[in-house]
Amino acid sequence: MGSLINSDVTEGCDFKPLDPEEFRKQAHQMVDFIADYYQKIESYPVLSQVQPGYLHSRLPETPPDEPESFEKILKDIEKDIIPGITHWLSPNFFAFFPATVSTAAFVGEMLCTCFNSVGFNWLASPAATELEMVVMDWLANMLKLPQTFMFSGGGTAGGGGVIQNTTSEAVLVTLIAARDQLLDVIGVESICKLVVYGSDQTHSTFTKACKLAGIDACNIRSIPTTIESGFSLSPSIFRKVVEADVAAGLVPLYLCATVGTTSTTAVDPVDPLAKVANDYGIWIHVDAAYAGSACICPEFRHYLNGIDQVHSLSLSPHKWLLSYLDCCCLWVKDSSSLVRALNTQPEYLRNKPSESNEVVDYKDWQVGTGRRFKSLRLWLILRSYGVVNLQRHIRSDVNMAKMFEGFIRLDPRFELVVPRQFSLVCFRINPKSHYGSNYIDMLNRKLLEWINSTGRIYLTHTIVGGVYLLRFAVGATLCEERHVVAAWKLIKDGADALLKRSEE
Ligand SMILES: *Cc1c(COP(=O)(O)O)cnc(C)c1O
């Protein structure tokens, strides 16, 4: 706030929300607080043990009228907030997929917050737009994406990348681009004929995006997969489903293929699926939220074979490329379809560079208008670590998952439900006896409940093909081999106790 000289309103007021010296002091204190937190993170239960509503009773009904000291606030974070945290950064967090972080991304985030630039168009902060373009091309290079997905491959109307918040938005904006492009041809009244495709393993966000995009719920095809095919989408079944839709007078619009499904990291075969889809003019999006990051290593790149034939690809560095939440990278071949669908030109945003068509205005590539300078995080990651260390990081996680997979193989009471492909191990206890499948499910539920109640590690489950299984997702940034070894010992102890009890 500026000082209004001679104003009664400011009498006795010395309120400076951004005093650089005060900032320096508090921010240093906060950095120490954070470093201490990271150092002692293992001492907290991984899964928060509080009950619903715990915080309401601990905090006052109204905010303070007068300022409180920073020291007091820090104490309350320890006392009231930390107990309600599920510690995603704990090395003993093996649930869902990890949310990976790094010093480089953190300091990049500090800088992003520092500038607080609201880079909706090029002029609003040229560096914010241009660094994002550079970083998205760098990442595209690391993934060996074809030139058609890069800015360097063609200028502002062709291919390029953009940072979205999450996969949900990446799917939504590409779906809307595909929808409008097709409706331009067949007429907007045909919207109820549009059909979209995924498998029964496609992330739930796809259905949500379809709802938001006005796709008739009856026209969302969730094509069944099987355990025999590793839960990946079969191109021949996909073709049959599309043919039936066409025969029924419907219009195929969009396929969401997944590289690394959320339940089991199944991989839909991009190349043959794209061949089918392209026969019908279907927009193909590849959702590689988690596993896409692994494709920076040559030994995993083959999972993206056929990517030259798709329209868009997204992956989330907040899952596996150390970037902190949120950061979802989306590449499209034809950015003009996105821009046609999403651009707005209010008078107050008009400016010469935008009208020259020589610049990218990222507001036209996303849902919102305002956007943060998130490319700083990725830029710092890429520069501070180099491709070599990022590849090491992926491989180290995969190797730890392999080690865990080995433990499962050696214990006859356990089994792998599907082969491991990345750093997720899908397993269950199955003491091969006369027990029925309901009983086995129940044993696994009990085992999971017991494991998580100890607070020492955190795992989650899924059900695929009717099978209840436990997911061991390696890759929390602080995780080392010893944590995986200790986790396995805990799981074994749980199994010992459970099986002993069930035999009594
Ligand atoms: C995690 C996940 C999502 C959701 O991703 P966010 O970017 O975190 O919203 C979507 N699809 C797949 C395959 C995922 O694993």
Cα–ligand 1 centroid distance for 43 (angstroms): 29
157 pLDDT tier (thresholds 50, 70, 90): low
pLDDT exceeds cutoff 50 at 323: yes
Tell me: do 346 and 278 sit in the same domain. Answer: yes
Question: Ligand 1, residues 202, 205, 303, 367: which to mutate, most atoms within 8 A of Cβ?
Answer: 205
Tell me: do 71 and 164 sit in the same domain. Answer: no
155 domain residue, yes or no: yes
36 domain residue, yes or no: yes
431 pLDDT tier (thresholds 50, 70, 90): confident
DSSP of 12-25, one letter per residue? T----TT-HHHHHH
Closest C-alpha among 419, 463, 402 to residue 265: 419
pLDDT digits (tens, 9 = 90+) for 284-303: 999 999 999 999 999 999 99
Cα–ligand 1 centroid distance for 180 (angstroms): 24
Could you tell me what percent of the chain has a pLDDT over 70?
96
Kindly report the pTM of this predicted structure.
0.95
- Once rounded to an integer, what is the mean pLDDT over residues 444-461? 96
- The 3-class secondary structure across 285-330, one letter per residue, is EEECCCHHHHHHCCCCHHHHCCHHHCCEEEECHHHHCCCCCCCEEE
Domain boundary among 371, 399, 429: 371
pLDDT digits (tens, 9 = 90+) for 165-182: 999 999 999 999 999 999
The protein residue whose alpha carbon is closest to atom 8 in ligand 1 is 166
Cα–ligand 1 centroid distance for 503 (angstroms): 41
Cα–ligand 1 centroid distance for 128 (angstroms): 25
Beta bridge pairs of residue 425: 472
Q: Phi and psi dihedrals of 61, rounded to 5? A: -70, -30
Task: Report the chain's mean pLDDT, rounded to a whole number.
Answer: 95
Tell me: do 285 and 387 sit in the same domain. Answer: no
**Contact assessment for residue 113 and residue 274, using Cβ atoms and an 8 Å cutoff:** no
**In ligand 1, which atom is closest to the CA atom of 96?**
1
The kind and range of the H/E element at 424 are strand 424-429
Domain boundary among 87, 110, 130: 87
**In ligand 1, which atom is closest to the CA atom of 170?**
7
**Contact assessment for residue 364 and residue 207, using Cβ atoms and an 8 Å cutoff:** no
Question: Ligand 1, residues 262, 263, 330: which to mutate, most atoms within 8 A of Cβ?
Answer: 262
**Contact assessment for residue 338 and residue 365, using Cβ atoms and an 8 Å cutoff:** yes
156 pLDDT tier (thresholds 50, 70, 90): low
The protein residue whose alpha carbon is closest to atom 15 in ligand 1 is 262
Pairing between β-strand 251-258 and β-strand 283-287 as defined by DSSP bridges: parallel
Tell me: do 261 and 404 sit in the same domain. Answer: no
pLDDT digits (tens, 9 = 90+) for 238-257: 999 999 999 999 999 999 99
178 domain residue, yes or no: yes
The distance between the two most distant Cα atoms of the chain, rounded to a whole number of Å, is 88
Q: How far apart are CA 397 and CA 363, in angstroms?
A: 36
Cα–ligand 1 centroid distance for 273 (angstroms): 20
Tell me: do 365 and 303 sit in the same domain. Answer: yes
Q: Which residue has the tokens 């706030």?
A: 1
Q: Phi and psi dihedrals of 10, rounded to 5? A: -95, 10
End-to-end CA distance of the chain: 72
**In ligand 1, which atom is closest to the CA atom of 316?**
7
Q: How far apart are CA 414 and CA 495, in angstroms?
A: 9
Cα–ligand 1 centroid distance for 323 (angstroms): 15
Question: Ligand 1, residues 163, 287, 318: which to mutate, most atoms within 8 A of Cβ?
Answer: 287
**Contact assessment for residue 122 and residue 308, using Cβ atoms and an 8 Å cutoff:** no
157 domain residue, yes or no: yes
In what side-by-side order are the strands of the sheet with 312-315?
160-164, 328-332, 312-315, 283-287, 251-258, 194-199, 220-223
Residues framing ligand 1 (Cβ under 6 A): 97, 166-168, 203, 205, 258, 260-262, 287, 289-290, 316, 328
Cα–ligand 1 centroid distance for 289 (angstroms): 5
- CATH label of the domain that carries residue 154: 3.40.640.10
Q: How far apart are CA 416 and CA 420, in angstroms?
A: 8
Q: What is the pLDDT of residue 1?
A: 47
Cα–ligand 1 centroid distance for 492 (angstroms): 30
Q: Supply the range of the domain harboring residue 53.
A: 18-87
113 domain residue, yes or no: no
Report how many domains make up the chain.
Answer: 3
Q: What is the pLDDT of residue 357?
A: 85
- CATH label of the domain that carries residue 495: 3.90.1150.10
Cα–ligand 1 centroid distance for 294 (angstroms): 15
Q: How far apart are CA 259 and CA 327, in angstroms?
A: 18
Question: Ligand 1, residues 259, 303, 319: which to mutate, most atoms within 8 A of Cβ?
Answer: 319
Tell me: do 260 and 363 sit in the same domain. Answer: yes
Q: How far apart are CA 354 and CA 111, in angstroms?
A: 26
**Contact assessment for residue 273 and residue 284, using Cβ atoms and an 8 Å cutoff:** yes
The protein residue whose alpha carbon is closest to atom 5 in ligand 1 is 167
pLDDT digits (tens, 9 = 90+) for 463-478: 999 999 999 999 999 9
CB atoms within 10 A of CB 392: 13
Domain boundary among 328, 344, 371: 371
What one-character DSSP code corresponds to residue 232? P
The protein residue whose alpha carbon is closest to atom 4 in ligand 1 is 167
Tell me: do 399 and 367 sit in the same domain. Answer: no
Question: Ligand 1, residues 290, 321, 323, 329: which to mutate, most atoms within 8 A of Cβ?
Answer: 290
What one-character DSSP code corresponds to residue 233? P
**Contact assessment for residue 247 and residue 195, using Cβ atoms and an 8 Å cutoff:** no
Tell me: do 183 and 304 sit in the same domain. Answer: yes
Tell me: do 319 and 434 sit in the same domain. Answer: no
Closest C-alpha among 392, 398, 411, 387 to residue 481: 398
Cα–ligand 1 centroid distance for 436 (angstroms): 34
Q: How far apart are CA 391 and CA 387, in angstroms?
A: 6
Tell me: do 451 and 367 sit in the same domain. Answer: no
**In ligand 1, which atom is closest to the CA atom of 290?**
15
Q: How far apart are CA 105 and CA 318, in angstroms?
A: 10
Q: What is the pLDDT of residue 8?
A: 55
The protein residue whose alpha carbon is closest to atom 1 in ligand 1 is 289
Cα–ligand 1 centroid distance for 434 (angstroms): 38
The protein residue whose alpha carbon is closest to atom 12 in ligand 1 is 289
Closest C-alpha among 334, 331, 329, 423 to residue 382: 329
Q: How far apart are CA 404 and CA 122, in angstroms?
A: 48
**In ligand 1, which atom is closest to the CA atom of 260?**
13
Tell me: do 340 and 398 sit in the same domain. Answer: no
Pairing between β-strand 251-258 and β-strand 328-332 as defined by DSSP bridges: unpaired
Q: How far apart are CA 29 and CA 70, in angstroms?
A: 9
Cα–ligand 1 centroid distance for 287 (angstroms): 8
Tell me: do 367 and 394 sit in the same domain. Answer: no
500 pLDDT tier (thresholds 50, 70, 90): confident
**Contact assessment for residue 213 and residue 169, using Cβ atoms and an 8 Å cutoff:** no
- CATH label of the domain that carries residue 59: 1.20.1340.10
pLDDT digits (tens, 9 = 90+) for 357-410: 899 999 999 999 999 999 999 999 999 999 999 999 999 999 999 999 999 999
9 domain residue, yes or no: no
> Is the preceding peptide bond at 411 cis, omega within 30 degrees of 0?
no
109 domain residue, yes or no: no
Q: What is the pLDDT of residue 13?
A: 73
291 domain residue, yes or no: yes
Cα–ligand 1 centroid distance for 317 (angstroms): 11
Q: How many residues does the chain have?
A: 504
